[in-house]
Chains A and B, each alone.
Chain A
């Protein structure tokens, strides 16, 4: 039996199709890594053209309040664009959009709507002061200002909720100062601070609101998870959201490279029996001193062993390529899963293995289907095509089952073979329990295998 399995692996590894798919996978993995490497450099190309805005303004009627609003907005944008061109560091850009922009807005309103020269003069001074700070990249000034504002607010008589919110905001600013984090979007700690600061009001509002709608509940769930994750980032100083590293590619491995696993599995399982019949090599194989059951079992075991082994091979290739492109330092950063209010930390490799394990049932069932068709029809192309179609149909039905709940769906294997919800500690999207899923998967496997074995034992090697 061991020798039979060994020879099966030799045959697979020496096959041209296997080598070709592996070659294509290496290219694909390389490109994927390069895309991840450049993921942060893909800027939203600013398509706002100052000239166009000016032309637009020339056509507006300033006596019409609507038009006037648009006119002011355009002027503001033109001015902001001018400053952003002049001061182009990340910190400067942030300060312009967060601290300079409100002043400019106010100034323009004073100029065109309220027509208040005194206010204009005051705002002009403010603007120049802020511009001066921006020029020097003196971000600490703004942090200190915020601290003063929040401390002042906290001395007032506030309700508990508002108080907590300001305390939190104050803590954020102090954290920024002590850890010397400029307003730089390339700095992950800044991004975490900024996220919390932006969403904290909505978070507390949702938290204390009564009778949330379904949408609001989902939004609250999402914001709480993001809050916790960003807090975790700040507390542990780990760059969880960085996508331009090896860890991110490995984290998304199952979805990025799942198609290749599928191709490998279907290709091997779909040809392992049929090709021997088509090429006539089965005549030497079946006249060796083994029972037919033993020969089929060795081929089945080869397919079953092949699935985890090919996953390992793909991980190794990705580690080598990704390691060359990114280095390995990101692998120290854990994967954090938020579920039911609790954060759980996984080592990246543990997470990777678990994520692949949860998709394993799908590859097993599709592999068995390809194996069965390969045996029953002795046709590699039929086996490959049909299994691939079953995969596609399975996807469609899985989507359909999210919208419609039929009792009949319970017996469909497509809804049971993806266990990835387990990874996030969530319940099945279709409301099945794990033991139900395992039961359905087992029944399908047994039926497919019984058919295959019964047929293979009786099968005549036809005359050419």
Chain B
């Protein structure tokens, strides 16, 4: 079942187009990685979904409710952290949770303690938030976003400030929630952290959604990484593309399709270079992303 459907989302501020025809979907149990460099429009997209910013055109439905027409119903089963977990610093963690919980109907005390346990904040929950580290505030933010038992969870850079242990906990929590049919939208700079548990990825650049695909698809982009050992890499620069790299005086790293690598080797041979070794490697998610983004020539 589709939980979130974004279609033809456009956002203009003045004459500047921030988002151009962004469309994607999240189904229940899916974890979508939302990837893009700074200023690409990730946070703006998230804010449009949550009604924090008004869209110029397009439609967004959550659980079948249009957020423009039925905002209250659409947002009722959504949990979120946007940009950073901004809570009331002069209140304790527990006071913050109680305050946020009182804005939903029928959230019991047990429910509050359940989410505290879920994010592992039991020992510090009665401290003022002003004494928390960013990682602890991130945990508190996640607890707040889980208060209303959401079936759509939107997390903007949730790994910021978390230590490796915290990231591992978050990953386990998100996988568990996905198993309970929660749809999750998660944006992050650190792609390697998402790679292991996301099952779908959206790449956005300069307000345009470049690619929406599953992780498996993304990894099967035609191009692969080839590491070539040569007698010398001194004069090779002219033959390389922007995403190719010279590792040292013997090794060079290129990203090409099978056809291209054949031609490339041919070219090297014609230029009297000696090829000792050609090794093919799978692209990581990050490399695939950079390759696609680079291919757009932006």
A15 → chain B closest CB, angstroms: 6
Whether A288 contacts B104 by the Cβ 8 Å rule is yes
If A287-B78, A289-B104 touch, does A281 touch B87 (CB 8 Å cutoff)? Answer: yes
A284 touching B75 by the CB < 8 A rule? no
The residue of chain B having its C-beta at the shortest distance from the C-beta of A2 within the complex is B102
User: How many angstroms from the CA of A464 to the CA of B84 in the assembled complex?
Assistant: 10
Q: How far is the CA of A16 from the CA of B75 in the complex (A)?
A: 32
Does A290 lie within 8 Å of B86, measured CB to CB? no
B54 is an interface residue with CB less than 8 A from chain A: yes
| Nearest chain B residue, comparing its CB with the CB of A278 | B86
Report B257 CB to chain A, min CB distance, Å.
Answer: 38
Contact: B103 with A281, CB < 8 Å?
A: no
Q: For the side of the interface on A, what is the size category?
A: 20 to 34
The answer to the question of A461 belonging to the interface, with a C-beta cut-off of 8 Å to chain B, is yes
| Contact present for A284 and B53 (CB under 8 Å) | no
**A280–B88 touching, CB < 8 Å:** no
**Is B120 in the interface zone, CB < 8 Å from A?**
no
The residues of A that contact B88 with a CB separation of less than 8 Å are 11, 14, 279, 281
Q: Is B174 an interface residue (CB 8 A)?
A: no
Q: Are A283 and B83 in contact (CB under 8 A)?
A: yes
| Interface membership of B100, Cβ < 8 A | yes
If A4-B103, A16-B90 touch, whether A286 touches B51 (CB-CB below 8 Å) is: yes
Interface size class on chain B is: 20 to 34
A residues 1-57 near B (Cβ < 8 Å) are 3-4, 6-7, 10-11, 14-16
Cβ of B39 to closest chain A Cβ, rounded Å: 9
Q: Return the contact of B51 from the options A6, A280, A287 (Cβ within 8 A).
A: A287
**A281 and B72 form a contact (CB under 8 A):** no
Contact of A156 with B by CB under 8 A = no
Residues on the A chain within 8 Å of B95, using CB: 10, 14
Given contacts A284-B144, A463-B83, contact A7 B52 (CB under 8 A): no
> Which residues 17-42 of B have a CB within 8 angstroms of A?
none
Let me know if A460 and B52 touch, CB within 8 A.
Answer: yes
Which residue, of B73, B84, B86, has the highest number of chain A Cβ atoms within 10 A? B86
Instruction: Confirm or deny: B80 has a beta carbon within 8 angstroms of a beta carbon on chain A.
Output: yes
Which residues from B are CB-within-8-Å of A458? 54
For B65-85 the 0/1 string (1 means CB < 8 A from A) is 000000111011010101110
Residue of B nearest to A295 (CB): B103
Cα A10 to Cα B100 with chains together (Å): 12
Query: Is B91 on the interface with A (CB-CB < 8 A)?
Result: yes
- Which A447-464 residues have C-beta < 8 A from chain B? 458, 460-461, 463-464
Enumerate A248-300 residues with CB–CB distance to B below 8 Å. 279-281, 283-291
Nearest CB of chain A from residue B126's CB, rounded to whole Å: 14
Query: For the complex, what is the distance from the CA of A195 to the CA of B76, rounded to whole Å?
Result: 74
**Complex contacts, B91 vs chain A, CB 8 Å:** 11, 14
Known: A16-B90, A290-B72. Is A6-B102 also a contact (CB below 8 A)?
yes
Q: Which residues of B contact A461 (CB under 8 A)?
A: 47, 52-53, 82
Q: Does B50 interact with chain A (Cβ within 8 Å)?
A: yes
Interface pair A460/B53, CB less than 8 Å apart = yes
Return chain B residues, CB-CB under 8 Å to A6. 102
Min Cβ gap B155→A in Å is 13
- With both beta carbons as reference points, the residue of chain B lying nearest to A460 in the complex is identified as B53
B82 A283 Cβ-Cβ under 8 A: yes
Task: Give A4 to B104 CA distance when docked, in angstroms.
Answer: 10
Rank and list the top 10 A-B pairs by shortest CB-CB distance, nearest first.
Answer: A280-B86, A461-B52, A460-B53, A289-B76, A288-B103, A283-B82, A289-B72, A3-B102, A287-B50, A281-B86
User: Could you jot down 15 A-B contacts, CB within 8 Å?
Assistant: A3-B103, A4-B103, A6-B102, A7-B103, A11-B88, A280-B84, A281-B88, A288-B75, A288-B103, A289-B73, A290-B72, A463-B44, A463-B83, A464-B83, A464-B84
Q: What would 8 more interface pairs be, CB under 8 Å, given A290-B103, A463-B43? A: A6-B102, A284-B87, A284-B100, A284-B144, A285-B103, A289-B104, A460-B47, A460-B54
